[in-house]
Amino acid sequence: MGIDWRRFENNARCAGYKMIAGIDEAGRGPLAGPVVAAAVIFPEVTYISGINDSKKLTPAKRENLYDQIYENAISIGLGIIDSAEIDKINILQASLLSMRIAVANLFPRPDYLLIDGTFTIRSQIPQKAIKKGDSQSLSIAAASIIAKVSRDRIMKRYGEDFPEYGFHKHKGYGTRMHLEAIRTLGPTLIHRKTFRGVK
């Protein structure tokens, strides 16, 4: 049997909720750049083929699904926390804050939240954290795609600002090429100074 991608959304609807937002983030692990969260509310009937955890999709497939998600969603919200703030409050708190901002940027306002991971966010909206939710929930998987594509685009832009670091290739992750650039050239303004490999 395959995954019932709508199980968590349907359970919430059976409990009386109507505007159910799936939330996920991208960019917890990189040494540079922001952490980006997305929140997605779909209508009850949504037909988009191929949605899955963004990590399991090719870049071309993510880009295609990104456009389809924007075409079909009731609302999409983004939350972006830069490297300076990540260094100040730590990556976990920055991730949770980016999720709160993404939810705040939704209109209409959601009445229930499905969050990827094991942590909930500070909010009065009822919510459920789902471990590996991006592989189980349609709206969380969609949020993972929006967050990933949005962050990748930001990092490609930084690749133009700092061409010698190769951000357009590794998106800030700690590849051999990236670590060598940090050792040779030092960190940029977008590097996370508290992360091993940078500090």
**Domain ranges, ordered by start, for the chain:** 7-185
- What global pTM score does this model have? 0.97
Cα distance between residue 43 and residue 41, in whole Å: 7
pLDDT digits (tens, 9 = 90+) for 139-154: 999 999 999 999 999 9
Give the residue-averaged pLDDT of 16-23. 98
Is the predicted pLDDT of residue 28 greater than 90, yes or no? yes
pLDDT of residue 1: 52
- pLDDT band with cut points at 50, 70 and 90 for residue 128: very high
The CA angle 163-167-170, to the nearest 5 degrees, is 140
Of residues 161, 169, 147, 164, the one with CA closest to residue 189? 161
CATH architecture of the domain covering 7-185: 2-Layer Sandwich (3.30)
